[in-house]
Amino acid sequence: MHKRSLGERLWRGRIAYAMLLPTFVMLFIFLYYPAAMGLYRSLFKWSAGTEAQFIGFGNFVTLFTKDRVFLASLGHMVQLAAWYLFSTLVISISMAILIHRLHREATKYFFRLFTVLPVIIPGIVILMLWKFIYDASIGPLNALLIGVGLEEWTRAWLSDPNTALYAVMLRNFPWNDGVATLIFLAGFQAISAEVVESSMLDGAGGLRRLWSIELPLIAGQIKLISVLTIIWGVQEFTAVFAMTQGGPINATMVPGMWMYWNAFSINKMGYASAIGVVMFIITMILTLINMRYISTSQEK
C-alpha cells in the first residue's frame, strides 16, 4: 500500500487546515506570544516607557532572597490552594454522592439544578456579598454573633491580619463547587449498574463500595478537578483584589496580587514578569505531580 508523504497529506487536508489556521493565529497572537514575551521580559529590569536593561536572572534572585512580601505570598498561596483542593474534592464529591444515591429522578433533577444555580451568578457579585457579610460595623456575621451572645468574638474580619486570610479562604459557604459536583455526578452515573450490583451481592456495604469501586472508577474526574483547582489556587487574584487587595499589612498578599501591584502600581514590568514565570513553573510542577500520582494510583 502506497504511503502518502507529508506534503500529500497536508494537501489532501488543505481545507481543514485552512479553517484551523485563523484559530492558531489568534492563539499565537493573544496567548503564546504574550507568554513568551513575559518569559523574555523577566530577564530585564524594565518599566513601561523606558529602555530595558538586561540583568539575566537578577529578578528571580531578588524574589527569593530579598523580597519578603513575595515569600510570604507563596505561603498564603499554598494555604489557599490546599483549602480549595480539600473543600472542592470533599464537599463536591459528597454532594455528588448524595444526589446519586437519591431514587427519584425528579428529586435528582431538582438538586442538580439547585447545585448549579450559583454558577450563573457573576463571581464579583458573590465576592462583594461576602465582603459585606464580613463588614465590621454593619455585616451580618458580627450581628449574628452579637445576637447569640458572642459579642467578644466580633471583629473586623478583613481588616485584622490574624483573620483576613481565613476570611478570604472560608467565603462561599458551604464551599460546594457546582461544576465540580456535576462532573463527579456524571462520573458516578457512568459506572455500570452490573458492577454496582455485583459488589452488593458480594456483601460490599455503601462505604466499602464507594471507597473500593466507585471512587477509583471516577479517578479521571478527580484528576481533572484536582488540576483545575490547583491552577485556580496558584493563580488566585480576583478574591484577594476584590476583598482585601493584599492587605492588611500584606496578610492576604498572593503572587498574582503582588505581580499586579508591581506591574501597575509601581511600573516594575520586568519584575512582575518574573513573578508570572514563577507562578507558571509552580503550576506546571504541581500539575505534573498530580497527574503522575493519579496515573500511578490507577496502575496499582
Does residue 299 sit in helix, strand or coil? helix
Please say if the pLDDT value at position 285 is more than 70: yes
Which is more confidently placed, 8 or 57? 57
Convert the pLDDT of each residue in 95-140 to its tens digit.
Answer: 999 898 888 888 888 888 888 888 888 888 999 999 999 998 888 9
Better-scored residue on pLDDT, 291 or 65: 65
User: How large is the average pLDDT for residues 28-46?
Assistant: 91
Q: Flag whether pLDDT at 91 surpasses 50.
A: yes
Domains along the sequence of the chain with CATH? 59-299 (1.10.3720.10)
The pLDDT tens digits of the residues spanning 210-259 come to: 787 888 888 888 888 988 898 889 989 999 999 999 989 999 999 999 99
Contact 219, 297 (CB under 8 A): yes
What pLDDT sits at residue 295? 56
Concatenating the DSSP letter of every residue in 118-138 gives GGGS-HHHHHHHHHHHT-TTT
User: How many whole angstroms from its chain centre is CA 226?
Assistant: 9
pLDDT of residue 288: 82
pLDDT greater than 50 at residue 1? no
| Residues 198-204, mean pLDDT to the nearest whole number | 71
| pLDDT exceeds 80 at position 28 | yes
pTM (2 d.p.): 0.85
User: Quick check: helix, strand or coil at residue 53?
Assistant: strand
CB-based contacts of 174, cutoff 8 Å, min separation 6: 91
Length of the chain: 300
Percent above pLDDT 70 for the chain: 94
Report the mean per-residue pLDDT for the chain: 87
DSSP string, 220-243: HHHHHHHHHHHHHHHT--HHHHHH
In angstroms, how far apart are the furthest CA atoms of the chain? 85
